[in-house]
Structure 1
Amino acid sequence: MDRKKQPRGTRNSRRERNKQTFPKKVALISVLGVSFILICGGVYATKIMQPKPKEVSKVKDDSLYKQKEALLLEKIREAKKQEELQSTEQEKTEGSIQTLIYEPVTTDTIPQLPTIKTELTILIEEAKKNLPKETAAKIVGYVKKIKTNEQVIGYQTTVDTYTWDSKKEDWSEKTVLGKNVAYVNQKTKQPLTLQDIFISEANLLAIYQVLQQKLLDESPDGNSVIDGVLNMPKISLDGTAFTYYPDKISLELPENPTGKKEITLPYKEIANYINPEFVDPDAIKDAVSAPLDPDKKYISLTFDDGPNPETTPRLLDILKEKDVKATFFMLGQNVVKNEELVKRVAEEGHEVASHSYSHPQLTGVDEQIVKDEVQQTDKAIYHAIGKIPTDFRPPYGAVNTEVAKIINKPIIQWSVDSQDWESHNAEAIIKRIHDTAYHDTIILMHDIHPETVDAVATVIDHLRGEGYEILPSKKLLGNKAKPLHMYYGSKDERLVQ
């Protein structure tokens, strides 16, 4: 379909309008273009007229950096000159990292030096790896001297890392210490040993009892692991690995049911069994038992073969009334039948000790029976009061070296025998003790005999009348009794033979 033709007048009119609009558009574009050029030119002119702060600042930073770098190096080197442990410097620079290593000059006083140097190299390499990239740093490796006391000196690898902080315009410092300290006995110039610290195997065996109890205390259910703990192989001076600290010691443990591989004992818990020359004095301050007053008379009351439900409660009443603490050497077979009575003995401040399970003469039976007699009683007493007995009185006083090693507890004998087991007479018991008692001795009685209980109040009164202070046996012995030794009094200690 053909389009209708527009009138000629209409087409002419449109051309005229277009002719008039075009010059206006050109003018507008020109104005915008000129404006844009002027703006850009102004910005550029302003920019090139401003100073260059980055270049000036960089020069300033370099100058400050060099100044503080020189001060830091001077400080480091001066500090090393002032240290008691003299050393020589080895310097190495790799890019922006400068390493200063200070090795001790006197090497014969540090037998572990090769190990120390190896650890120092490892620490330095770790410090380098941990640095941010392209960071100016100073790594200073040296051996730090630690003086515990006159007899023990420790040496510890140390790495100080200084990194430049451009924002703070100063050095930041970080120190990393080696995991191990090499301790040296200043008498022998050799690495510290367990013998230095504990002196004797007997003292270490006393510590063994402490760590057994600690394992049980830290176990969620001591009764479930007590067999394994009691049967754990003993530690020894030569065969036990350890980590020494000025205030405590960590001992490697044999395989045991608790799963623990080591145990840490503060010296204050074992102060009576260590050599004070080799520990920090503050670690055992007020922990070592004070000696008994030499101007006083002391004596100890001990009771064997109980507990007995008929006689022991009455005895406890008398001791409570007289304010006397005693030591009870109990038979395991009686403990299992009278647990509440055992608890009462412990709760009232008396010592609970072992007298075997069924009262055999231990020197006349085989080793397994000795072991069973000791361990069954340990278990029975632990089940009753949560503590393993630390002291042992062998039935009839019969003991030898082999038996003592199995018992692994201090052997508490006696020096005054009341002979209550023979007389069964209160007056005879009172007279016997009166005639034979003397200073620093241990009296033997039995809480299973009614006549003994009848005599106790008078015995206490007579002893006090003669000036005696009555103590439980452990306290009489200064809390220092140890396995493989037997004691008849505070001044009569003998090695079991």
Structure 2
Amino acid sequence: MNRKNHPRGTRNSRREKKQHRFSRKLTFAALFAISFILICGSVYATYAMQHPPKEASNLEDDDYQQKEIALLEQIRESQKQAKLENTEQEKTDGNVQTLLYEPTVTNSIPQFQALKVALTALIDTAQKNSPKETPLKLVGYIKIIKANEQVIGYQPVVESYTWNQTNEEWTEQTEVSKDTAFVNQKTNQPLTLQDLFTSEANILAIQQVIQQKLLAESPDANTIIDNVLNMPSISLDQTAFTYYSDKISLGLPDNATGKKEITLSYKEIAGYVNPEYIDPDSIKDALPAPLDPNKKYISLTFDDGPNPETTPRLLNILKEKNVKATFFMLGQNVVKNEALVKRVADEGHEVASHSYSHPQLTGVDLQRVKDEVQKTDKAIYHAIGKLPTDFRPPYGAVNKDVATIIGKPIIQWSVDSQDWQSHNAQAIIKRIDETAYNDTIVLMHDIHPETVDAVATVIDRLRGEGYEILPSKELLGNKAKPLHMYYGSKDERPVQ
């Protein structure tokens, strides 16, 4: 039995040993796995401690910095490309970074110090008007503006770049100064009214435009008309102005209207502005085309009216013949016949001034001259809502002092019908037949019945000779000016 049992005991012992070895291996493997996990966890924890994940705010900071760098590069590159070479001055104060670009050469820029002061003021204003907690970039520089071939401008500019936290972008706003220095490139000196308007005569013409505009813009012109007519004249050397390529703002002298400044488009003053210094498009089509040199022109003018007996009959004839004329009216007759004056204007004729009571203006004192002119201006304005722009002095008598007070173009005549002398229709017709020539202004009087009797035949004969009949303003091209006398479009003389 012992022999038979021994092999079985041996087998059991071997099995136990194998099981023990397997348990040890399993235990070792488990311990190894646990150790490996612990080591890996420890390594990861150490790495995580040394490399924490980026928070959203850090990501935003990186985005801000990248966009800030890109913005500064863009600004500096833009300044490198500017027409005016400059140097950068940088200053940082809290959230505000200021980049000031000053021209490298300043002695060639007229009024540079004034421009620098204006630029500094613009920067200060931009900073005051910006949020205090938000990152802000202020870029100040002087920009060159080419107004036209003869004029360039130097204009202070400030660009404000504000960081928009919501959109994570820089938002831009540009402010430009009104204190722009414009320069006449011919002289390299500041642009002046002398450059723009050349003469006292043109300035007086512009004064007329200003008066009419002030009245047109007033809610009750009749209450300010005396103040407007008595407003001191602007001058070439004392008037402040702001230049634009298509308009101009003029400072007004102290006056009872309270108006300190007025802006005029060049189209409104096209006949009086030097076209070299403005945008040509701003006066395009503002003046009529020149008269055809191959045609004959003549103007019919009538003095001393209106007369309630003769002027309506004359208007009927002119309407029937489709002729427009110029009426140089006496103020004392205008105030008695306002409806008739309005009819003259409504039918397309020019209403002009011939003084109030027909004195010889060179024989009275200058205050009387002023009264004669202003009383007629008021009378005509009350009748038609417009001031007269042209003046014929009684007897043609005028000198420089009188012409300055009148302040309007002086329209004389080159053909005298002598109706005031003959009082005969046939004599009037014969006189005009014998003395009329191209580009002339005919003097007649609508207060004489014989003149009215002659007009239809005069018109027919002039047309038969090939004349086109125009009002005097149109004959003169809508650009006659004060201190000058006109006998026709080719006969202009300064008043001496």
Place the TM-score, normalised by the shorter chain, in its bin: 0.7 to 0.9
Equivalent residues, number? 449
CA 1:310/1:133 → structure 2, altered by over 3 Å: closer, same or farther? closer
1: distance between equivalents of 2:335 and 2:129?
A: 62
Deviation at 1:55, TM superposition (A): 4.3
CA 1:461/1:207 → structure 2, altered by over 3 Å: closer, same or farther? same
Aligned partners of 1:219 and 1:258 also within 8 Å: no
Q: Which residue of 2 aligns with 1:7?
A: none
Deviation at 1:59, TM superposition (A): 3.0
Query: Unaligned regions of 5+ residues in structure 2, if any?
Result: 1-47
Identity of aligned residues (%): 75
Deviation at 1:382, TM superposition (A): 1.1
Q: Which residue of 2 aligns with 1:179?
A: 178
1:259 aligns with 2:263: no
1: distance between equivalents of 2:215 and 2:315?
A: 29
Stretch moving more, 146-155 or 169-178: 169-178
1:434 aligns with 2:433: yes
Deviation at 1:188, TM superposition (A): 1.3
Q: Which residue of 2 aligns with 1:161?
A: 160
Provide Cα deviations, 1:185-225, integer angstroms capped at 9, x if missing partner: 11111111111111111001000011111111122222222
Q: Which residue of 2 aligns with 1:121?
A: 120
Q: Which residue of 2 aligns with 1:104?
A: 103
SS at match of 2:357: coil
Q: Which residue of 2 aligns with 1:21?
A: none
1: distance between equivalents of 2:207 and 2:132?
A: 52
Deviation at 1:135, TM superposition (A): 2.7
2: distance between equivalents of 1:375 and 1:451?
A: 31
1: distance between equivalents of 2:166 and 2:378?
A: 67
Q: Which residue of 2 aligns with 1:447?
A: 446
The one-letter code sitting in structure 2 at the alignment partner of 1:235 is I
Aligned partners of 2:287 and 2:477 also within 8 Å: no
Deviation at 1:126, TM superposition (A): 2.8
Q: Which residue of 2 aligns with 1:192?
A: 191
Where do residues 47-446 of structure 1 align in structure 2 (5 Å cutoff)?
55-446=54-445
2: distance between equivalents of 1:220 and 1:95?
A: 52
Query: Unaligned regions of 5+ residues in structure 1, if any?
Result: 1-48
SS at match of 1:62: helix
Aligned partners of 2:118 and 2:179 also within 8 Å: no
Q: Which residue of 2 aligns with 1:477?
A: 476
1: distance between equivalents of 2:429 and 2:151?
A: 54
2: distance between equivalents of 1:367 and 1:489?
A: 28
Deviation at 1:84, TM superposition (A): 1.6
SS at match of 1:340: helix
Provide Cα deviations, 1:280-308, integer angstroms capped at 9, x if missing partner: 22221211332111111111000011111
Provide Cα deviations, 1:14-59, integer angstroms capped at 9, x if missing partner: xxxxxxxxxxxxxxxxxxxxxxxxxxxxxxxxxxx9xx99943233
CA 1:137/1:219 → structure 2, altered by over 3 Å: closer, same or farther? closer
Query: What root-mean-square deviation, in Å, do the aligned CA atoms of Structure 1 and Structure 2 show?
Result: 1.9
Q: Which residue of 2 aligns with 1:30?
A: none
Q: Which residue of 2 aligns with 1:46?
A: none
The one-letter code sitting in structure 1 at the alignment partner of 2:256 is P
The one-letter code sitting in structure 2 at the alignment partner of 1:491 is K
1: distance between equivalents of 2:108 and 2:58?
A: 49
Provide Cα deviations, 1:262-293, integer angstroms capped at 9, x if missing partner: 11111111111101111122221211332111
Q: Which residue of 2 aligns with 1:26?
A: none
Deviation at 1:451, TM superposition (A): 1.0
Q: Which residue of 2 aligns with 1:9?
A: none
CA 1:488/1:167 → structure 2, altered by over 3 Å: closer, same or farther? same
SS at match of 1:128: helix
